A and B are shown apart, each in its own frame.
Chain A
Amino acid sequence: MYATNYHRASSVQDAVKLKSGADEGKYLSGGMTLIATMKQRLASPSDLVDLRHIPDLKGISVNGKSVRIGAATTHFDVASSADLKAVCPAICDLAHHIGDPHVRHMGTIGGSVANNDPAADYPSALLALDAIVVTNAREIKAADFFTGLFETALEDGEMIVAITFDAPAKAAYAKFRNPASRYAMTGVFVARRDNGDVRVAVTGAGADGVFRHSGMEAALAANWSPDALAAITVDPSDLMADIHASSEYRANLVKVMAKRAVAAAS
Chain B
Amino acid sequence: MGVEGIGASVARKEDKRFLTGKGRYTDDMSVPGMKYAFFVRSPYAHARIKNIDMSAAKDMPGVIGILEGKQLQVDAIGNIICGWMIHSKDGSPMNMGVWRPLAHETVRYVGDAVAIVVAESLGEARDAAEAVVVDYEVLPAVTEAVKALEPGQPQLHPEAPNNLIFDWQIGDGAATEKAIAEAAHVTEITLRNNRLAPNPMEPRATLGIYDSAEDHYTCYTTSQNPHVARLVMSAFYNVAPENKLRVIAPDVGGGFGSKIYIYPEEIVCLWASKKTGVPVKWTCDRTEAFLTDAHGRDHVSTVKMAFDKDNRIIGLKVDTIANLGAYMSLFSSAVPTYLYATLLSGQYAIPAIHANVRTVYTNTVPVDAYRGAGRPEATYLLERTMETAARELGVSPAELRRQNFVRTFPYQTPLIMNYDAGDYEASLEAAMASADWNGFAARKAEAARHGKKRGIGMSCYIEACGIAPSAAVGSLGAGVGLWESAEVRVNAVGTIEVMTGSHSHGQGHETTFAQLVADRLGVPIDSVNIVHGDTDKVQMGMGTYGSRSGAVGMSAVVKALDKVEAKAKKIAAHLMEADESDIVIENGEVKVAGTDKTLPWFQVALAAYTAHNLPAGMEPGLKEGAFYDPSNFTFPAGCYICEVEVDPETGVTDIIQFVAADDFGNIINPMIVEGQVHGGIAQGIGQALLENVHYDPQNGQLITASYMDYAMPRADDLPSFKLSHQNTPCPSNPLGIKGCGEAGAIGSPPALMNAITDAIGNNNLTMPATPQKVWAALNAAN
A residues adjacent to B (C-beta < 8 A):
1-3, 40-41, 176, 179-181, 243-246, 249, 252-253, 256
Binary interface encoding of chain B residues 623-663 relative to chain A, with 1 for a CB under 8 A from any of its CBs, else 0: 00000000000000000000000000111000000000000
Q: A176-B771, A180-B708, A253-B650 are in contact. List 16 more A-B contacts (CB 8 A).
A: A2-B127, A176-B650, A179-B690, A179-B770, A179-B771, A180-B707, A180-B710, A181-B708, A243-B703, A243-B704, A246-B772, A249-B772, A249-B775, A252-B649, A252-B650, A256-B649
With the chains together, A252 CA to B703 CA distance in Å? 24
Closest to B652 in A: A176
B130 neighbours in A (Cβ, 8 Å): 41
A243 lies within 8 A of B709 (CB): yes
Q: Which of A40, A41, A180, A245 has the most CB of B within 10 A?
A: A180
A252 neighbours in B (Cβ, 8 Å): 649-650, 775
B123 lies within 8 A of A3 (CB): yes
With the chains together, A181 CA to B694 CA distance in Å? 15
With the chains together, A41 CA to B770 CA distance in Å? 31
Can you list the 9 inter-chain pairs with the closest CB atoms, starting with the nearest?
Answer: A180-B711, A179-B711, A181-B708, A249-B772, A256-B649, A180-B709, A245-B772, A243-B694, A179-B690
Closest to B779 in A: A252
Tell whether B138 is near chain A: CB-to-CB under 8 Å. no
Tell whether B445 is near chain A: CB-to-CB under 8 Å. no
State which size class the interface on B falls in: 20 to 34
Tell whether B776 is near chain A: CB-to-CB under 8 Å. yes
Shortest CB distance B285–A (Å): 9
B123 neighbours in A (Cβ, 8 Å): 1-3
B772 lies within 8 A of A181 (CB): no
Shortest CB distance A35–B (Å): 14
A249 lies within 8 A of B709 (CB): no
Given contacts A179-B690, A180-B709, A252-B775, contact A244 B770 (CB under 8 A): yes
B650 lies within 8 A of A256 (CB): yes
With the chains together, A256 CA to B648 CA distance in Å? 11
Given contacts A3-B123, A249-B775, contact A181 B650 (CB under 8 A): no
With the chains together, A40 CA to B708 CA distance in Å? 13
Q: Which of B126, B130, B649, B690 has the most CB of A within 10 A?
A: B649
Shortest CB distance B713–A (Å): 10
With the chains together, A179 CA to B710 CA distance in Å? 9
A1 neighbours in B (Cβ, 8 Å): 123
With the chains together, A3 CA to B130 CA distance in Å? 15
B704 lies within 8 A of A181 (CB): no
Shortest CB distance B284–A (Å): 15
Closest to A250 in B: B772
A–B Cβ pairs within 8 angstroms, 28 of them? A1-B123, A2-B123, A2-B127, A3-B123, A179-B690, A179-B711, A179-B770, A179-B771, A180-B690, A180-B707, A180-B708, A180-B709, A180-B712, A181-B707, A181-B708, A243-B694, A243-B704, A243-B709, A244-B770, A244-B772, A245-B772, A249-B771, A249-B772, A249-B775, A249-B776, A253-B650, A256-B649, A256-B650
A181 touches which one: B126, B127, B709 (CB < 8 A)?
B709
With the chains together, A249 CA to B710 CA distance in Å? 19
Closest to B649 in A: A256
Shortest CB distance B125–A (Å): 13
With the chains together, A72 CA to B126 CA distance in Å? 34
Shortest CB distance B95–A (Å): 32
Shortest CB distance A228–B (Å): 16
Closest to B773 in A: A249
A253 neighbours in B (Cβ, 8 Å): 650
Shortest CB distance B513–A (Å): 37
Shortest CB distance A233–B (Å): 14
With the chains together, A245 CA to B775 CA distance in Å? 11
Shortest CB distance B771–A (Å): 7
B708 neighbours in A (Cβ, 8 Å): 180-181
With the chains together, A249 CA to B771 CA distance in Å? 9
B650 neighbours in A (Cβ, 8 Å): 176, 252-253, 256
With the chains together, A253 CA to B652 CA distance in Å? 11
With the chains together, A232 CA to B707 CA distance in Å? 35
With the chains together, A244 CA to B770 CA distance in Å? 8
With the chains together, A246 CA to B779 CA distance in Å? 14
Closest to A179 in B: B711
Shortest CB distance B702–A (Å): 11
Closest to A259 in B: B649
With the chains together, A154 CA to B650 CA distance in Å? 36
B772 neighbours in A (Cβ, 8 Å): 244-246, 249
Closest to B770 in A: A179
With the chains together, A1 CA to B127 CA distance in Å? 10
Closest to B689 in A: A179
Shortest CB distance B769–A (Å): 11
Shortest CB distance A236–B (Å): 13
With the chains together, A179 CA to B690 CA distance in Å? 7
Shortest CB distance A61–B (Å): 35
With the chains together, A244 CA to B689 CA distance in Å? 12
B694 neighbours in A (Cβ, 8 Å): 243
With the chains together, A243 CA to B773 CA distance in Å? 11
Shortest CB distance B553–A (Å): 36
Shortest CB distance A108–B (Å): 21
With the chains together, A180 CA to B707 CA distance in Å? 6
Interfacial residues of chain B within 698-738, with CB under 8 A of chain A in the complex: 703-704, 707-712
With the chains together, A249 CA to B123 CA distance in Å? 42
B712 neighbours in A (Cβ, 8 Å): 180
Closest to A256 in B: B649
B651 neighbours in A (Cβ, 8 Å): 249
With the chains together, A256 CA to B650 CA distance in Å? 7
With the chains together, A246 CA to B707 CA distance in Å? 20
B711 neighbours in A (Cβ, 8 Å): 179-180
With the chains together, A1 CA to B123 CA distance in Å? 8
With the chains together, A121 CA to B214 CA distance in Å? 61
With the chains together, A246 CA to B775 CA distance in Å? 11
Q: Which of A1, A243, A246 has the most CB of B within 10 A?
A: A243
Closest to A246 in B: B772
With the chains together, A176 CA to B703 CA distance in Å? 21
A180 neighbours in B (Cβ, 8 Å): 690, 704, 707-712
Interfacial residues of chain B within 124-153, with CB under 8 A of chain A in the complex: 126-127, 130
With the chains together, A171 CA to B578 CA distance in Å? 89
Q: Which of A3, A245, A252 has the most CB of B within 10 A?
A: A252
Shortest CB distance B752–A (Å): 15
Interfacial residues of chain B within 415-469, with CB under 8 A of chain A in the complex: none
With the chains together, A249 CA to B708 CA distance in Å? 19
A179 neighbours in B (Cβ, 8 Å): 690, 711, 770-771
A41 neighbours in B (Cβ, 8 Å): 126, 130
A244 neighbours in B (Cβ, 8 Å): 709, 770, 772
Shortest CB distance A114–B (Å): 20
With the chains together, A3 CA to B121 CA distance in Å? 13
Closest to B772 in A: A249
Shortest CB distance B622–A (Å): 53
Closest to B694 in A: A243
Shortest CB distance B438–A (Å): 33
Shortest CB distance A240–B (Å): 13
With the chains together, A77 CA to B43 CA distance in Å? 42
Shortest CB distance B502–A (Å): 35
